[in-house]
Amino acid sequence: MTVLEGARERWVRTGGVELCVAELGDSSRPTVVLVHGYPDSKEVWSEVATRLAGRFHVVLYDVRGHGRSTAPRPLRGGFTLEKLTDDFLAVADAVSPDRPVHLVGHDWGSVQAWEFVTVERTEGRIASFTSMSGPSLDHFGHWIAQRVRRPTPRRIGQLVGQGAKSWYVYLLHTPALPEAAWRGPLGRHWPRILRRLEKVPAGAYPTSSLPSDAAHGAWLYRDNVRSRLRRPRTDAHAHAPVQLITPLGDAFLSERLYDELERWVPQLTRRTLPAKHWIPRTRPDGLAAWITEFVASVEDGRPERAATGGRYADRFGGQLVLVTGAASGIGRATALAFAEAGARVIVVDRDADGAARTAETSRLMGAPEAWAEAVDVSDEQAMEKLAARVAAEYGVLDVLVNNAGIGLSGSFLDTTSDDWRRVLDVNLWGVIHGCRLFGRQMAERGQGGHIVNTASAAAFQPSRVLPAYSTSKAAVLMLSECLRAELAGQDIGVTAICPGIVNTNITSTARFTGVDAEEERRRQKRAARLYGLRNYPPEKVADAVLRAIVRNEAVVPVTPEARGARFMSRWVPGVLRALARAEPPW
């Protein structure tokens, strides 16, 4: 029996084999065909398929010789790309005879799907193609030839690097050895290997047919790889829009393989994600969202819609991002940067009107969706309600930015207990609430994510006039370091962003202790004027936030003075201590 709950099964006969086909969702809707790779069966797609079934007619089939489909006899010559194309057309004609299908492939499912989308006889049967972890053998052959004919140190390095990643291809060409390994110890231990190396969650995948699937699938390599790499087609141009999803931690394929892909694909959308090879099992939420967006854009007649966006659109397009303190300053700039990259943005601030304005601007800048939430991050119960509402209405976050903060200046002896509680409630407890509530949701989902906490250069730069503020930010920095260590094993990155003097309104709203109201207003104006003269824009901090997530950086001092203070705190702390004694400029 199939492990796809609620699936309808049928058998499609083609080329002397019978293919097991499973269908989910309403057959009157656009059809999405999912093609599995090696050594998998169609069940590798089960998590993605169930997420797509509410909106599409989802079709999965066991490739010949895999799962419940029968194997060709003899095996040799039975797995050529030409015969795999025959199989695909037979399935497409059976499940969607009157409309082209949207094709999705992973690993060898993607390799064969590149053949489908570039040969003349399938033109008009494919509406779009989403590729992941599997290049066209023709494109790969030209990629190799170009580096052999015109070698440079960089190209030679790429060739050697991919050659090392392809070690398993050489082994699969050896006679009898792969079959013996898969039917023996490798087949028994493969689920444990996947859990340990790829963090694939335990469950119904892989199925009991794995040993025979892997043994039969070795002929995919033997029947196609050498012949195509030696004599790649010169007409392998895609006749449908293509979405390329590249897992950056793929142990088998270099992302450099796709550097010249625009040569072959007139309409190309690129996506990247920090994950390993088996993303249909480890990142089903993100894949389902990207496939949905891409298919919808093609169905609307605007495939270019999914390709638009800012500098980091390939990384954050369609992701769910929450930013606190986003009504103004760094938080607003960060929310808008994510919106420009095509993310879905949740704007949180206790200023309801300011949050609504940021959400509206986010939509204008490219966010597919943006929502405003009026919440005080220091209120634990309010944050708990927010976390529950976000999970129920929007889903689990991909990125959390704990940015909300307040300023407080004054000597330690002039800072009251109430002053301390107020600054710690917002600057530290607000971060703790966000990390605890949304971080737990990320961890329980088990599909990675990233948390960014806004600290400050004050976190490692002592000051006689910022004891409470500096203490709160130093605590945020250490919390981030501890959390990064704890969540690393769950593919959740944690970054502490440490800006210096940035031109925001935090200075005009900061509290100054130990002075009367008139003097406090004068100092606020003086501080705001000094920060204005420095004129470091919050947009640069926002760019640093997105870049830090892409690079998974731990601590990011943003401004030159922040980087200088960070350097001195590590190598010449005595100098910083001496500077801390200086009188403030107000």
**Quick check: helix, strand or coil at residue 240?**
coil
Report the candidate in 12, 181, 28, 151 with the shortest Cα–Cα distance to residue 87: 12
Catalytic, out of 38, 205, 258, 469: 469
> How many Cβ atoms from other residues are within 10 Å of residue 17's Cβ?
20
Supply φ then ψ for residue 345, to 5 degrees.
-120, 130
Q: Residue 462, preceding bond cis, omega within 30 degrees?
A: no
3-state DSSP helix/strand/coil % of the chain, to nearest 5: 50, 15, 35
DSSP for 309-368, written as a single string: -STTHHHHTT-EEEEESTTSHHHHHHHHHHHHTT-EEEEEES-HHHHHHHHHHHHHTT-S
Q: Which residues does residue 512 pair with via DSSP β-bridges, in sequence order?
A: 409
> Which residues of 403-469 form beta strands (DSSP E)?
408-409, 449-454
Which residue, 504, 414, 399, 382, is CA-closest to 452? 399
Residues 6+ apart with CB under 8 A from 421: none
Phi, psi for 450 (deg, rounded to 5): -150, 140
Using a 10 angstrom Cβ sphere, with 0-12 exposed, 13-18 middle and 19 or more buried, the burial of residue 192 is exposed
Is residue 536 part of the annotated active site? The answer reads no
User: Measured between alpha carbons, how far is 296 from 305 in angstroms, rounded to an integer?
Assistant: 10
d(CA 261, CA 267): 10
Q: Which 8-state DSSP code applies to residue 78?
A: S
User: What is the rounded distance in angstroms from the CA atom of residue 354 to the CA atom of residue 404?
Assistant: 13
Query: CB neighbours (10 Å) of residue 544?
Result: 23
- Give the integer Cα–Cα distance in Å for 214 and 207: 12
The residues annotated with a catalytic role in the active site are 469
